[in-house]
Amino acid sequence: MQFSAAQIATLINGQVEGNPSMAVASFAKIEEAESGQLAFLANPKYEDYLYTTKASVIIVNEALEIKPGLTATLIKVPDAYSAFALLLRKYQQMMTQQLTGIQQPSFISPSAKIGQNVFIGAFAYVGDHAEISDNAKIFPQVFIGNNVKIGEHTILHPGVKIYHDCVIGNNVSIHAGSVIGSDGFGFAPQADGTYKKVPQIGNVVVEDHVEIGANACIDRATMGSTIIHTGAKLDNLIQIAHNVEVGQNTVIAAQAGVSGSTKIGNNVLIGGQAGIVGHISIADGAKINAQSGVSKTIANPNSAVTGSPAFEYGSALRSQAVTRKLPDLEKRIKELEKILHQLVTERV
């Protein structure tokens, strides 16, 4: 499928500089692009490639000053990175929108409700009274339990499992192998040292415009709901425990884990492999560094913490600086002890 520079500019609200009829059929990095491909330039350190690339069309920042000798057609936009991301999203939507119909073999309960322009791939399972809204895409081997609700334009990639009673909003993307609504980790210790399982009778609610990476696990609530609020972005291999709330537009990187009943605010940034204990709160705008261990509530908005246990970022950096100097400090202390010993000996 080919697109002209003029068509692409219309999609991303850009201005063409060069040949508006120049056509491209695929995307590539600017340093690797060939004729007939589209690239973008957002980082100034790659600017030299602008004059050596073979790309036919390039998306650039409108503030960029162009030197003589450029042959490619340009599409100028306020923010090249965001415009390119928008273009990729639109392209992906065009590709997935072509998928419709129900492949066989698959199982769909007679009581399930299936909207218009839905795609259900082979070996998918749709349980009793489940609802799949218009334009949803359910890829092969997806499991959708009883009473599950799937919103419009939502994509469930291969092998996703949605347990009973969970609710998935509109324009959600859940990647391969993720499990939504498995039991929360609840066990009551007994006098004889054994444990009895606490039934997990709640659900998971994933609101609109959420993206969940591959092989993530989001546990159902003991009672009530585990909630992933609108616009949150979860990376691969993340564990979200029962009754957790993840705020709007919060971003969590891979291999992070959040223990039960913790409330994470809006616009929080959580680095990879961070661990957060249960029953605490994380204030709006907080930044948690990778591999941090958060054991206490972060009460102040826009705080930055690091370390394990995590504490205020600036203090942590100063402590690390002191730690690096410990060998030298030990040497100086020993020298001072010798001097002090000599002074005491001379006095005696």
How confident is the model at residue 55, as a pLDDT?
Answer: 95
How confident is the model at residue 69, as a pLDDT?
Answer: 82
CATH topology classification for 3-97: 3.40.1390
Neighbours of 58 (CB within 10 A): 27
Q: How confident is the model at residue 321 (pLDDT cuts 50, 70, 90)?
A: confident
Which residues touch 59 (CB under 8 Å, ≥6 apart)?
8, 12, 14, 38, 39, 40, 41, 74, 75, 77, 80, 83, 84, 87
Of residues 149, 214, 220, 212, the one with CA closest to residue 184: 220
- Cα–Cα distance for residue pair 88/342, rounded to 1 Å: 75
Backbone angles phi, psi at 303, to 5 degrees: -70, 155
- Cα–Cα distance for residue pair 172/159, rounded to 1 Å: 16
Model confidence pLDDT, tens digit, residues 229-265:
999 999 999 999 999 999 999 999 999 999 999 999 9
The identity of residue 242, as a single letter, is H
Residues classed as catalytic: 242
CATH number of 102-315: 2.160.10.10
Q: Residue count of the chain, please give it.
A: 348
- Cα–Cα distance for residue pair 112/121, rounded to 1 Å: 16
How confident is the model at residue 103, as a pLDDT?
Answer: 96
Whole-number Cα distances in Å, 296 to 60, 196, 280, 305: 45, 28, 6, 11
Which sequence spans correspond to the domains of the chain? 3-97, 102-315, 322-347
Contact 280, 258 (CB under 8 A): no
Count of helix runs (H) and strand runs (E) in the chain: 4, 40
Between 9-23, 129-143, 331-345, the lowest mean confidence (pLDDT) is in 331-345
Token look-up 């409700």 returns 113
Which residues touch 30 (CB under 8 Å, ≥6 apart)?
39, 40, 41, 46, 49, 50, 53, 55, 58
- DSSP per position, 232-280: -EE-SS-EE-TT-EE-TT-EE-TT-EE-TT-EE-TT-EE-TT-EE-SS-
Model confidence pLDDT, tens digit, residues 270-300:
999 999 999 999 999 999 999 999 999 999 9
The tally of CA atoms less than 13 A away on the side-chain side of residue 203 is: 15
